Amino acid sequence: MDTLIYIIRDIDPFDINTGMAEVKKAFSQLTYSHIPVTREGVFLGCVSETDAHCFDVAKTLSDYAYAMEPFFVRADANWFEILEAFADHSSNIMPVLSENNTYLGYFELADIMNLFNNTPFLNENGAIIVVEKGSRDYSFSEICQIIESNNAKILGVFISEIEDDKTQATIKIGETGLTAITQTFRRYGYEIVSSHDEDKWTDNLKERSDYLDKYLNI
């Protein structure tokens, strides 16, 4: 999935010497939580809307260089890494840098959320099963082997929780037959945390992702 086509360049980053009056005006006209800041074309970080409203209008961004938030993703990042970066920094805009730290543009959260919503994990019909095992004992290859040995198709699997010495994996399979699969998991020492023949869990996840998108774009 090529994420480069989603890079946006319609807003120029602020220069570090930009006056705060101009910065505040820009935020009042935009819906972004942050705007990138550069010095002679070199990316320094992002200024947040929340901080900008607290800064002295008579000063420049250079007076508040300490407040720049240096988050970004590389141009070769996959959509999941990009989504994770958005979540980590509570932003609806994500600067994109080349390997040489050249500023290339930015991603919007809504575009990346649409990529997530269009993955087979959410769009394909199937069943959800959550399994748990010791963090040192589980393996993705074993999980895949268990599912495929029961003639089921894997649509997605990810680590959904790690607590103490236990790890939970959430799996979506493309065909029914959960009974045989859960029995096999138990034989291999996995605990079945939950399983859902219907796609209610998936629908809830999609609704939550849509809500996150709307919330971060307020």
The CATH number that applies at residue 172 is 3.30.70.260
Question: How many structural domains compose the chain?
Answer: 2
In a shared domain, residues 87 and 149: no
| Residue 35 placed within a domain | yes
In a domain, 211, yes or no: no
Q: What pLDDT is stored for residue 198 in this prediction?
A: 45
Cα–Cα distance, 107 to 125 (Å, whole number): 29
pLDDT tens per residue across span 109-161:
888 887 766 776 667 778 888 999 999 998 889 999 999 999 888 888 888 88
pLDDT of residue 200: 47
Domain boundary among 86, 113, 140: 113
Of 40 and 95, which is predicted with more confidence?
Answer: 95
Residue 11 corresponds to which tokens in the numbers above?
A: 């807003």
Question: Do 106 and 164 lie in a common domain?
Answer: no
CA–CA distance, 160 with 172 (Å, rounded to integer): 12
Q: For residues 31 and 11, what is the distance between their CA atoms, to the nearest angstrom?
A: 12
Predicted TM-score (pTM) of this structure: 0.61
Asked if residue 96 and residue 29 are part of one domain, the reply reads: yes
CB atoms near residue 141 (< 10 Å): 8
Q: How large is the average pLDDT for residues 11-40?
A: 94
Going by C-alpha positions, the residue among 194, 193, 192, 157 that lies closest to residue 174 is: 157
For 180-207, how does the pLDDT look when each residue is reduced to its tens digit (9 = 90+)?
899 999 999 999 998 765 444 445 555 5
Within 19-157, where are the H helices?
20-29, 49-52, 79-89, 109-117, 120-123, 140-149
Could you list the residue range(s) of the whole structural domain that residue 94 is in?
4-113
Asked whether residue 208 carries a pLDDT value surpassing 70, the answer given is no
Kind and range of the H or E run holding 144? helix 140-149
Give the span between the Cα atoms of 128 and 168, in whole angstroms: 13
Question: 130 and 189, same structural domain?
Answer: yes
Q: Are residues 102 and 130 in the same domain?
A: no
Domain boundary among 89, 113, 137: 113
Query: Are the C-beta atoms of residues 49 and 32 closer than 8 Å to each other?
Result: yes
Residues 12 and 102 in one domain: yes
Q: Which two tokens stand for residue 174?
A: 């493309």
pLDDT in tens, 37-75: 999 888 999 999 999 999 999 999 999 999 999 999 998
